[in-house]
Amino acid sequence: MTRRTALQAAASAPLFLSASAQGANDRVNMALIGAGGRGRRVTEAFVEVGAPCVAVADIYEPNLQKGLEVASSGAQAYTDYRKILDRSDIDAVLIATPDHWHVPMMLDAVQAGKDVYCEKPMSHSISEGNRAIRGVRATDRIVQIGMQRRSTPWIIEAKKMVDDGAIGHIGFAKAQWNWSVSAPLDNSTLPGKLDWNAFVGPAQPRAMQPMIFRKWRYFWEFSGGNMTDQGTHLMDVIQWFSNSGTPRSASCVGRVGAMSGSEVPDTFAATFEYPDMIATWTLNYNNDYENGWTIRLEGDKGTLVLDGSGYRLYDAPWKNNREPVKTVQDSLPTIPHVRNFLDCIKSRQEPNAPVEVGHRAVCGPHLANIAMKTKRMAFLNPEASEIY
């Protein structure tokens, strides 16, 4: 058997995922906290797999009404998420709020006895991520971070091939995200009622500006920006596939292009140093070349390229093997990750993206943001608890 034939056979081997056949069919009542676009889409996935959404909380009236449209019939509306946590008939909550609310709401929820599906990035800082781990582990609650690549069958398949030696040792990895979405921020009057103070919450008080609420991801008090938003997904895959843990240093430069009014860059380049690997993470929201995300893992025996349409595995040397050994074309659904969470609610086993995974995934992006802001290299200890 040739190496190429062996790789093809390994790639087509059956997968055994953690989801049980019956777990997600048992009724789990869930509630949505944060009914923006992402929260509504993930809620639709919960309802589709049989977990009714019985309550929706949001501090912006138009979003609250839109959330009720995707929730189950008879769902109750709230402007204070804590009233959801007081309800004994709700088993789990989906947190899809701005980043600065993730950990406070997560800890409130687990202390109230709720299981939690929390959108990424898990935390707003490295220290906050460590606090989340301690708080969750002080309870018996199931927490899944919304990093759906961890439950995507073709990505799990690619991970197995890498573990089996398909590309050898990964010495360099590259993550990239290009979109043409940057534009000046809109500061026109918001339609509908907004509770601004509830939106700001644990952040530093500041005057209300419509563009901050519309595009909260582009303001440091409320988000880690594009660095942690998309970087959580991509750097997680790099660290997962390379078994590398968190980076020990990061450097980064960035700029604001067309997105005038933004505090955070819409173009940046970050470099991460691991004990046995170097990785880069670049984003350009002013150019759509190779539109979307790409991860390239370069090993001493081959190269694996993953993107939004699947993966391509190349043998080495590439100059003599320019056609991929294996190609898989597929989509990136949310449902398998939701189903994994629901199954784990029943089994009380660890989900595919628990808080420790969520924390490690965003440590590198947090470190790169620090390097970018301070214009110097930033370092992280092996326990991911001290920045220097």
Identify whether the C-beta of residue 294 lies closer than 8 Å to the C-beta of residue 305: yes
Average pLDDT over residues 239-248: 97
Identical fold for domains 16-147 and 150-333+352-379, yes or no, is no
* Angstrom distances, CA of residue 351 to CA of 93, 224, 244, 253, 348: 15, 25, 20, 35, 9
Q: Which fold has domain 150-333+352-379?
A: Dihydrodipicolinate Reductase; domain 2 (3.30.360)
pTM of the model: 0.92
Q: Which fold has domain 16-147?
A: Rossmann fold (3.40.50)
- Tokens read off for 334: 């949310």
- Tokens read off for 98: 């701005």
Identify whether the C-beta of residue 330 lies closer than 8 Å to the C-beta of residue 15: no
CA 311 from chain centre, in angstroms, equals 19
CA 73 from chain centre, in angstroms, equals 29
Q: What angle do CA 356, 220, 79 make, to 5 degrees?
A: 80
pLDDT above 90 (res 13): no
* pLDDT bucket at 34, cuts 50 / 70 / 90: very high
Half-sphere exposure of 167 (CA within 13 A, CB side): 27
Mean pLDDT of the chain: 94
Residue 31 three-state SS: strand
* pLDDT bucket at 47, cuts 50 / 70 / 90: very high
CA distance 191 to 329: 41
- Report the percentage of the chain scoring pLDDT > 70: 94
Identify whether the C-beta of residue 196 lies closer than 8 Å to the C-beta of residue 202: no
CA distance 58 to 93: 13
Q: Where are the domains of the chain?
A: 16-147, 150-333+352-379
pLDDT above 60 (res 2): no
